[in-house]
Structure 1
Amino acid sequence: MGGFYGVNGKKLQRQYKDQLSDFKTWEQKPHAKQWLIFPENIGRYLSIDETALSRGELYTIITNKKAKGKKGCIVAIFSGTKVEPIIEQLLQIPAKKRAKVKEITLDMANSMKTIARKCFPKAIQVTDRFHVQKLALEALQDIRIKHRWDAIDMENEQIKQARLKQKSFTPKTFDNGDTKKQLLARSRYLLYKAPSNWTENQYQRSKILFEHYPDIKLAFKLTQRLRDIFNKAKSVEVAYTKLAHWYKDVENTGFKAFNTIANTININYRSILNYFINRSTNASAESFNAKIKAFRSQFRGVKNIEFFLYRLTTIFA
Structure 2
Amino acid sequence: MAGHYGLDGKLIQKYYKENLSDFREWDLLSHAEDYILFPKNISYHLCIDETALTSGELYTILSSKKGHGRKGTIVAVIKGTKAEDIINVLCKIPEKERNIVKEVTLDMAGSMQKIIQCCFPKAIQVIDSFHVQNLRPQSYDKNVARLKLAQWYESIEKEGYRNFSTVSQTIKNNYERILNFFINRSTNAAAESFNAKLKFFRASFRGVADMTFFLFRISKIYA
TM-score band by shorter chain is over 0.9
Higher strand share: 2
* Residue 91 (structure 1) shift: 1.4
Q: Which residue of 2 aligns with 1:52?
A: 52
1:258 to 2:164 alignment: yes
Distance 2:99 2:136 in 1: 29
Pairing 1:140-151 to 2, within 5 Å after superposition: none
Q: Which residue of 1 aligns with 2:100?
A: 100
Deviations, residues 115-149 of structure 1 (Å, cap 9, x unaligned): 1011111101001122x24xxxxxxxxxxxxxxxx
Q: Which residue of 2 aligns with 1:291?
A: 197
Distance 1:25 1:49 in 2: 29
TM-score w.r.t. length of structure 1 = 0.68
**Residue identity in the other structure for 1:118:** C
Distance 1:307 1:229 in 2: 43
2:50–2:59 contact (8 Å) kept in structure 1: yes
Pairing 1:121-140 to 2, within 5 Å after superposition: 121-130=121-130, 132-133=131-132
1:233–1:239 contact (8 Å) kept in structure 2: no
Q: Which residue of 2 aligns with 1:88?
A: 88
* Residue 263 (structure 1) shift: 1.2
1:242 to 2:148 alignment: yes
Gaps of 5+ in 2: none
Distance 1:18 1:276 in 2: 50
Q: Which residue of 2 aligns with 1:315?
A: 221
Q: Which residue of 2 aligns with 1:9?
A: 9
Greater mean deviation of Cα atoms: 3-12 or 21-30: 3-12
Distance 1:83 1:259 in 2: 26
Task: Give the one of 184, 187, 191 matched to 1:278.
Answer: 184
* Residue 83 (structure 1) shift: 1.4
Deviations, residues 170-207 of structure 1 (Å, cap 9, x unaligned): xxxxxxxxxxxxxxxxxxxxxxxxxxxxxxxxxxxxxx
1:67 to 2:67 alignment: yes
Task: Give the one of 167, 175, 180 matched to 1:269.
Answer: 175
* Residue 10 (structure 1) shift: 1.4
Distance 2:91 2:36 in 1: 13
Structure of larger gyration radius: 1
* Residue 233 (structure 1) shift: 4.6
2:101 aligned counterpart, secondary structure: coil
1:301 to 2:199 alignment: no
**Residue identity in the other structure for 1:40:** K
2:4 aligned counterpart, secondary structure: helix
Distance 1:305 1:3 in 2: 24
Could you tell me the percent identity over the aligned residues?
53
1:51–1:289 contact (8 Å) kept in structure 2: yes
Greater mean deviation of Cα atoms: 49-58 or 1-10: 1-10
Q: Which residue of 2 aligns with 1:37?
A: 37
1:228 aligned counterpart, secondary structure: helix
TM-score w.r.t. length of structure 2 = 0.96
1:3 aligned counterpart, secondary structure: coil
**Residue identity in the other structure for 1:46:** L
* Residue 99 (structure 1) shift: 1.1
1:62 aligned counterpart, secondary structure: strand
**Residue identity in the other structure for 1:80:** G
**Residue identity in the other structure for 2:80:** G
1:105–1:127 contact (8 Å) kept in structure 2: yes
Deviations, residues 55-103 of structure 1 (Å, cap 9, x unaligned): 2101000000011110110000110011122212211211111111000
* Residue 250 (structure 1) shift: 1.8
2:129–2:135 contact (8 Å) kept in structure 1: no
Higher helix share: 1
1:64–1:72 contact (8 Å) kept in structure 2: yes
